[in-house]
Amino acid sequence: MVFDVLTLFPEMFYSVLSTSILKRAIEKGKIKVNLINIRDFSKDKHKRVDDYPYGGGPGMVMMPQPIFDAIEFVKKQGDIPVYYLGPKGKIFNQEMAVKMSKLDRIVLLCGHYEGIDERVYSIIDEEISLGDFILTGGEIAAMAIIDAVSRLIDGVLSDPQSYREDSFFEGLLEYPQYTRPEVFRGMKVPDVLLSGNHAEIAKWRRQKSLEITLLKRPDLLKKAVLTEEDKKFLREKGFDI
């Protein structure tokens, strides 16, 4: 999969893309990240990409011309969907990550300053936000999306089961995890995880996922894929379903 990142600060991505799972995914050819500097498309002799907002007000606004030209440059290579990382977009979630992971290529446009000229929206497919808070720019959001989507691409993780059991993959939060030692400062690993009984372990993990989701994010349960056994368990816990 190819990620075309349109940014004013490509250097922000260097460390992230040269470490851990993303580095290995790039080396294996599972993903490719093109860092495209929007300033390279500015027609201003000083490579200026922002200007004061019409009507007055604080801050600067990203000008349309460099962004239009940058997007059109990428789109010459195909009909590639363009996602703008901005505060007014849909909240990014695992469902969106899964949909993106099935595409061959996407453009991630990183906003900055007070945002983009409104006319840029005419060539954007969708605006995405990480949540109800403000970042200095879209670069950190783009990194999060690249990471979330990449790990869903076949061959990026050594074991596909890793992401299938992640929080949010089936609409539930993940069950508790333990590793060695068996006892640490008086706290013991649950007996069921040491039993070797895989059916009982799977049941325990499922019920713990349900319990944790009920406690921390009950809103997720309304959209989660639940079995009749799940529903019975939740009703016993007092959840109306």
Spatial separation of the C-alpha atoms in residues 60 and 5, rounded to whole Å = 21
Q: Does 235 qualify as catalytic in the annotation?
A: no
**Among the residues of 48-138, which ranges form H helices?**
64-75, 94-101
Residue 17 assigned to a binding site: no
Residue 130 assigned to a binding site: yes
Q: Does 87 qualify as catalytic in the annotation?
A: yes
Written as one letter, the residue type at 235 is R
Q: Distances from the Cα of 187 to the Cαs of 179, 181, 208, in angstroms?
A: 12, 10, 18
Residue 111 assigned to a binding site: yes
- Dihedral sign of CA atoms 66, 68, 74, 80 in order: positive
Residue 134 assigned to a binding site: yes
Annotated active-site residue in 117, 147, 165, 166: 166
Residue 50 assigned to a binding site: no
Q: Which two tokens stand for residue 92?
A: 């990014």
Annotated active-site residue in 39, 53, 87, 211: 87
Annotated active-site residue in 69, 114, 165, 174: 114
The three-state secondary structure class of 184 is: strand
Which residues, in sequence order, are CB contacts of 100 under 8 Å at separation 6+? Answer: 106, 145, 149
Annotated active-site residue in 10, 139, 151, 230: 151
Q: Does 105 qualify as catalytic in the annotation?
A: no
Q: Does 240 qualify as catalytic in the annotation?
A: no
Q: Which residues are catalytic?
A: 87, 114, 151, 166
Please report, in range form, the residues annotated as the binding site.
Answer: 111, 130-135
Please report, in range form, the residues annotated as the binding site for S-adenosyl-L-methionine.
Answer: 111, 130-135
